[in-house]
């Protein structure tokens, strides 16, 4: 059973930066999609950035393009989200998610559809305010 644990959340002023980390245990798949989603209070969970081994491609939500960068360390089984130029609209609980199915990343209608992901972390809070 894959377990995902996020860390690195916190509070920043607008314009600040944060780096989120997600460590994966019991993760042996070499074919997967892993990514970051966020959910603000009373709102739906939305995809932020996803990396899929199929095609080795990263996907970003329009709202974070040019500001956020997803990366991974396969040796450490870790996924990262570098967040720069934060603004109050980035305030949310951030979740790490993984899809390790045989078709991960090859048949999605959208890589940001939460229903495609079987494994989720518990979330880490990011708050941006002045």
pLDDT in tens, 31-52: 899 999 999 999 999 999 999 9
d(CA 109, CA 112): 9
Give residue for tokens 């314009």. Answer: 15
pLDDT of residue 108: 80
pLDDT for 47-105, tens place per residue? 999 999 988 999 999 999 999 999 999 888 899 999 999 999 999 999 999 999 888 88
d(CA 122, CA 69): 21
């Amino acid at each position: 059973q894959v377990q995902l644990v996020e860390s690195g959340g916190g509070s920043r002023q607008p314009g600040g930066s944060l780096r989120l980390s997600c460590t994966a245990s019991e993760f042996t798949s070499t074919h997967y999609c892993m990514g970051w989603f966020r959910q603000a209070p009373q709102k739906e969970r939305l995809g932020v950035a996803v990396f899929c081994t199929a095609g080795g491609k990263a996907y970003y939500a329009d709202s974070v393009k040019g500001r956020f960068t997803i990366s991974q360390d396969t040796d450490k089984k870790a996924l990262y989200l570098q967040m720069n130029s934060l603004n109050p609209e980035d305030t949310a609980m951030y979740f790490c998610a993984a899809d390790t199915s045989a078709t991960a990343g090859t048949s999605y209608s959208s890589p940001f559809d939460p229903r495609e992901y079987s494994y989720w972390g518990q979330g880490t809070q990011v708050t941006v305010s002045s």
